[in-house]
Structure 1
Amino acid sequence: MTKRVFVYEYLSGGGWSDYGDDAAADELLPLGLSMRDAMVADLVRAADCSVSAAVCEPGNTLPAGAVPLRARANESAFDFVARQSALHDLVWLVAPETDGLLARFQRTVGNARWLGCSAEAIELTAGKKATLAHLAAHGVQTPLGFADAPDIARWVVKPDDGAGGVATHVHNRHADALEDQATRTQAGATLTLEPWIEGEALSLSLLCTEQNAEMLSINRQCISIDAHGRLSFDGVQVDAVGRGDPRRHDLAALALQVARAIPGLRGFAGIDLVWHPQHGPVVIEVNPRVTCAYVGLSAALGRNLAAELLADRLHGGSTQERELARADA
């Protein structure tokens, strides 16, 4: 039986007008469009699946085979998603964790139709500080363990529930970081201050099922810091670390450790980390949703990841169904 799947990416679906930060929305919108189109393209190729996706402007076209849907005049993003959720079997949604957006969408859709992580996992990982404390309590190495390390030379101040590198500043002195945090906190921002971990910026793409967390790829994150300490996220090199890299074993073990510490991770999820030259992997944050590393990943792996996500969601991830999903790639 054909399953009707609705894809909603918050910014490209019209949420950019409600985001409240025009500069951040402008920075994140191209990333949102690329994720949406990659998700839709994979779903269109999946067997027994009809695909609809949200668009916000007449020129905002989708990959061939998908039906564009637009919110009604003055319809809120949540009302639009609720209405379309009732008309579809499953909803695959991407939104920032900022201000509880992603968790609220999860509750709007409900568990029966939601394709992704649990509300509890989303709410935990939305807070960077809370996530690191939770992971540290489960034996995962995080920046919290470096607060008193003598070799820490820089500190980072960033939104506790931010997305990408928006409003993230790196300081060469702890005193300057404290001053930045205090100033922006007085202006109403909720921030976290952490030691800046030196090393190679990487991310892990995970396929999480009830029984397992498969590390799909190790990606290289492209990050730059300008003369004023402003950090920019300049994209990701998908599946950039080869199969022969000696770090793969440790990183696969880390992925499983994180997934066991946050059992509500389900479907596609991401882990941002830094590989420290002496200390190995240090987890920076966990993304309980599709990330930019999804774009091009199915092609890189020779698999249709959307089809595998559907198979796990609909059939409990049986070996036979997963193999059939891979055959559709």
Structure 2
Amino acid sequence: MVRILVYEPLSAGDAATVESLGRGSAAHLDMLDAGLAMRNAVAGDLVRIPGIQVSLATGEQEAGHAIHGSRALTPRPGEGAPEFLRSQAPLHDFCWVVAPETGGLLLRLHAAVGAQRWIGCSAAAIRIAASKKATCAALDAAGIATPLAFSGDSWIVKPDDGAGTLQTRRYATRAAAEEDLQARLQAGRSALLQPFVAGEPLSIAIVVGPVLARPVAFNRQRLETDGDGWLHDLGVQPAALDPAGPRAAQLQALAERVAAALPGLRGYVGVDVVWNERKGPVVIEVNPRVTCAYAGLSAILQRNLAVDILAAHGCKPGRQLAGHAAT
């Protein structure tokens, strides 16, 4: 029996993560909804795999309740995410953490779990992907189109380590964008200015193994810009593009090139892309973790993606791994 802990900080009631978003704020509630959807999709896939025992981290409101087939674990009052994971990781063979890179959170949780039990990307890959600036530089050096290839008719200011469209704003002039950028930096906030890339927002869901990166779905993202220039994420349509359609070959090749350009990507990885009329697929960012597109994807594909992701980490359901026995 392989024991796997599934952890998502907001649904587990991690106070530091909640307070960083503003308890009860729109950002907190939106991220909580997204986190629950991803957490439940991951746990729901895992419980359907023979030979897997799933522990699900739950907050006080869910205490004692878990997805059918899993067992609930609730952190002690005041126990933060790293502390909880440090205490629970040795009791499990693997930990699958659903969390954003923002503020170094995903990297800290990786350190708490340890590389041996971590389902996901390496610390080095997370560190690069957590910075949109560093990601674009690495991809650009590999000859992959990013916003760096554009001169800009309009401009985007956003957190360098942000998730989704959180605090992302579009400006008609570079001067206005520069003013916003400097205000954020002077306030000690992570910020980045990039040319706006026009086109259709898409994403690629990839499963990356030791030697192979395989796109499993091409998704359509729904984004909206309000009257003040703020971008809003209206959701994702998983597997919206035909895998045999006219753009599939380019997107598949792009996924493989991204994985080669960022060593250490492993398991499920999401690549946000804009399909530009002139340049084709342009990579905006790389998410070294489960994204919102994961929710419902196994049902659409009629294949349990968790099986593929575990296999990418050398875990074959039904047998215990040497070197991964929980203590």
TM-score, with structure 2 as normaliser: 0.92
Aligned counterparts of 1:56 and 1:234: Cα–Cα separation in 2: 26
Q: Which SS does the other structure have where 1:63 is aligned?
A: coil
Q: Quick check: 1:106 aligned with 2:110?
A: yes
CA apart distance, 1:57: 2.8
CA apart distance, 1:17: 4.8
Q: Which SS does the other structure have where 2:244 is aligned?
A: coil
| Selected match of 1:80 from 74, 78, 84 | 84
Q: Which SS does the other structure have where 1:160 is aligned?
A: coil
Aligned counterparts of 1:121 and 1:244: Cα–Cα separation in 2: 30
Contact 2:219 2:293 in 1 (8 A): yes
CA apart distance, 1:172: 1.1
Q: Quick check: 1:21 aligned with 2:25?
A: no
Q: Which SS does the other structure have where 1:29 is aligned?
A: helix
Give the structure 2 partner of residue 10 of structure 1: 9
Contact 2:15 2:80 in 1 (8 A): no
Contact 2:9 2:17 in 1 (8 A): no
Contact 1:125 1:131 in 2 (8 A): yes
Give the structure 2 partner of residue 121 of structure 1: 125
Counting only pairs closer than 5 Å after superposition, residues 65-214 of structure 1 correspond to structure 2 as: 65-146=69-150, 148=151, 152-214=152-214
Taking a change above 3 Å as real, the CA distance of residues 238 and 168 of structure 1, as seen in their structure-2 partners, is same
- Structure 2 counterpart of 1:35, which letter? M
Aligned counterparts of 1:37 and 1:256: Cα–Cα separation in 2: 28
Give the structure 1 partner of residue 264 of structure 2: 264
Aligned counterparts of 1:108 and 1:132: Cα–Cα separation in 2: 28
CA apart distance, 1:21: 2.1
Give the structure 2 partner of residue 326 of structure 1: none
Aligned counterparts of 2:276 and 2:52: Cα–Cα separation in 1: 43
User: Once structures 1 and 2 are overlaid, which stretch shifts more, 78-87 or 14-23?
Assistant: 14-23
- Structure 1 counterpart of 2:90, which letter? A
**Alpha-carbon displacement from aligned partner over 1:130-157 (angstroms, at most 9, x marks no partner):** 11011100111000111x3xxx321100
Q: Which SS does the other structure have where 1:131 is aligned?
A: helix
Contact 2:148 2:195 in 1 (8 A): yes
Contact 2:171 2:229 in 1 (8 A): yes
Contact 1:47 1:307 in 2 (8 A): no
Taking a change above 3 Å as real, the CA distance of residues 173 and 16 of structure 1, as seen in their structure-2 partners, is farther
Q: Quick check: 1:282 aligned with 2:282?
A: yes
Listed as ranges, the gaps of 5+ residues in structure 2 are: 320-327
Aligned counterparts of 1:16 and 1:172: Cα–Cα separation in 2: 38
- Structure 2 counterpart of 1:91, which letter? C
User: Once structures 1 and 2 are overlaid, which stretch shifts more, 90-99 or 33-42?
Assistant: 90-99
Q: Work out which structure has the larger RCO, using CA pairs closer than 8 Å and 6 or more positions apart in sequence.
A: 2
Aligned counterparts of 1:194 and 1:16: Cα–Cα separation in 2: 32
- Structure 2 counterpart of 1:292, which letter? C
- Structure 1 counterpart of 2:184, which letter? R
Q: Once superposed, what is the RMSD of the aligned Cα atoms?
A: 1.6
CA apart distance, 1:307: 1.8
Q: Which SS does the other structure have where 1:58 is aligned?
A: helix
Aligned counterparts of 1:18 and 1:175: Cα–Cα separation in 2: 33
CA apart distance, 1:189: 1.2
Q: How many residues align?
A: 313
Aligned counterparts of 1:181 and 1:308: Cα–Cα separation in 2: 41
Give the structure 2 partner of residue 298 of structure 1: 298
Listed as ranges, the gaps of 5+ residues in structure 1 are: 322-329
Q: Which SS does the other structure have where 2:60 is aligned?
A: coil
Taking a change above 3 Å as real, the CA distance of residues 125 and 138 of structure 1, as seen in their structure-2 partners, is same
Give the structure 2 partner of residue 62 of structure 1: 66
Contact 2:16 2:80 in 1 (8 A): no
Q: Which SS does the other structure have where 2:61 is aligned?
A: coil
CA apart distance, 1:16: 5.3
Give the structure 2 partner of residue 226 of structure 1: 226
CA apart distance, 1:262: 0.8
Q: Which SS does the other structure have where 2:309 is aligned?
A: helix
Q: Which SS does the other structure have where 1:314 is aligned?
A: coil
- Structure 1 counterpart of 2:306, which letter? A
Aligned counterparts of 1:304 and 1:46: Cα–Cα separation in 2: 8
Aligned counterparts of 1:271 and 1:84: Cα–Cα separation in 2: 30
**Alpha-carbon displacement from aligned partner over 1:175-200 (angstroms, at most 9, x marks no partner):** 11111111222222110000000000
Give the structure 2 partner of residue 309 of structure 1: 309
Aligned counterparts of 1:314 and 1:38: Cα–Cα separation in 2: 21
CA apart distance, 1:62: 3.1
Taking a change above 3 Å as real, the CA distance of residues 28 and 140 of structure 1, as seen in their structure-2 partners, is same
Taking a change above 3 Å as real, the CA distance of residues 140 and 279 of structure 1, as seen in their structure-2 partners, is same
Give the structure 2 partner of residue 48 of structure 1: 51
Q: How much identity, in percent, do the aligned residues show? A: 46
- Structure 1 counterpart of 2:110, which letter? Q
